[in-house]
Amino acid sequence: MQKFTLHKGLVAPMDRANVDTDAIIPKQFLKSIRKTGFGPHLFDELRYLDEGYPGQDPASRKPNPDFVLNQARYQGASILLARKNFGCGSSREHAPWAIDQYGFRAVIAPSFADIFFNNCFKNGLLPIVLPESVVAKLFDAVAAFPGFELTIDLERQVVVQPQGEEIPFEVNSFRKYCLLNGLDDIGLTLRHKDKIAAFEAERLATKPWLAHTAPGA
C-alpha cells in the first residue's frame, strides 16, 4: 500500500450529497476477479453518455461534457471534495479501489458511510471529515479559483489552503500509523513474519504429522 504523508493536489468538486457506491463504481464492473482496472470506470454512469460494460476501451466512449471530471480545469485532480454521506449504499471495496486508481489520494466531506470510510483506510485512501460549513467554503473556493489546490499534512493532521490557512482534522491514531507507513492488513501481518515462521517451524518439529494431508482430503 502506498504511504500517505504529505500531499499537495488539485481539488475536484463532487457537488452532490448521498453519493452511493453504485454511483462510484456501477455493479456491472464488480465481475472482475482482479483488484485493478477500476479507475477508468469511476462514476461511470455520470462520466459517460453511453452504457458502460467491462472490457470497453475508454477511448471509444462518449464522455458527458457536463460532468466535473471531464472538464479541463479538473484534469489531474488528486483530491476529491464531496458532500455529506459520501460512499453510502452497498459495502463494495471496489469503490475506494476505483477512486484510488483514478488518481485521488484523499476525499474531503462532512460525513462518510461507515463501511466505505473504513475501506478507504485499508486501501491507502485518506477520508477527511470536516464541518459542513468548512466544506461549503471549500466548494466556493474551488468554483472561484481555477487550479485551486490543497496540501494535506497527515503527520500534523491539517489541510493547508493556498494562503497558508490551516484546517485541522481528526484521524484515528492506528489508522494514521498505517497510512504513514503504507501498511494494509497484509503488511501489518508481515511485520511479524519472522515470529510466524519460527512458530510454524516449532509446530512442525513437535507435530510433524500436521505437514501431511489426510487421505481423501
Is the distance from CB of 159 to CB of 167 less than 8 angstroms? yes
Q: Position of cell 466512449?
A: 61
Residue 111 lies in a domain: yes
Q: Which amino acid is at 210?
A: L
For residues 9-30, average pLDDT: 96
The residues, any chain, with a CB within 8 Å of residue 195's CB and separated by 6 or more, are: none
Q: How many domains does the chain have?
A: 1
Specify the pLDDT at position 8.
Answer: 98
Domain that includes residue 122, residue range: 6-182
Specify the pLDDT at position 213.
Answer: 57
Residue 204 lies in a domain: no
Residue 211 lies in a domain: no
Residue 216 has pLDDT above 80, yes or no: no
> How many other C-beta atoms lie within 10 A of the C-beta of residue 125?
24
The residues, any chain, with a CB within 8 Å of residue 15's CB and separated by 6 or more, are: 68, 83, 139
Specify the pLDDT at position 215.
Answer: 53
Q: What is the pLDDT of residues 41-99, one digit of tens each?
A: 999 999 999 988 888 888 899 999 999 999 999 999 999 999 999 999 998 999 999 99
Residue 212 lies in a domain: no
Q: Residue 123 sits in a domain of what CATH number?
A: 3.20.19.10
Residue 35 lies in a domain: yes
Residue 208 lies in a domain: no
Banded model confidence at residue 210, pLDDT cuts 50, 70, 90: confident
Residue 172 has pLDDT above 60, yes or no: yes
Residue 200 lies in a domain: no
DSSP the chain: ----SEEEEEEEEE--S--BHHHHS-GGGGG-SSS---GGGTTHHHHBSSPP-TT--GGGS-B-TTSGGGSGGGTT--EEEE-SSBTBSS--THHHHHHHHHT--EEEES-B-HHHHHHHHHTT-EEEE--HHHHHHHHHHHHHSTT-EEEEETTTTEEE-TTS-EEE----HHHHHHHHHT--HHHHHHTTHHHHHHHHHHHHHH-GGGGSPPTT-
Residue 163 has pLDDT above 90, yes or no: yes
Residue 207 lies in a domain: no
Specify the pLDDT at position 73.
Answer: 97
Specify the pLDDT at position 183.
Answer: 86
For residues 162-166, average pLDDT: 96
Could you give the percent of the chain with pLDDT greater than 70?
97
Residue 134 has pLDDT above 60, yes or no: yes
pTM (2 decimals)?
A: 0.88
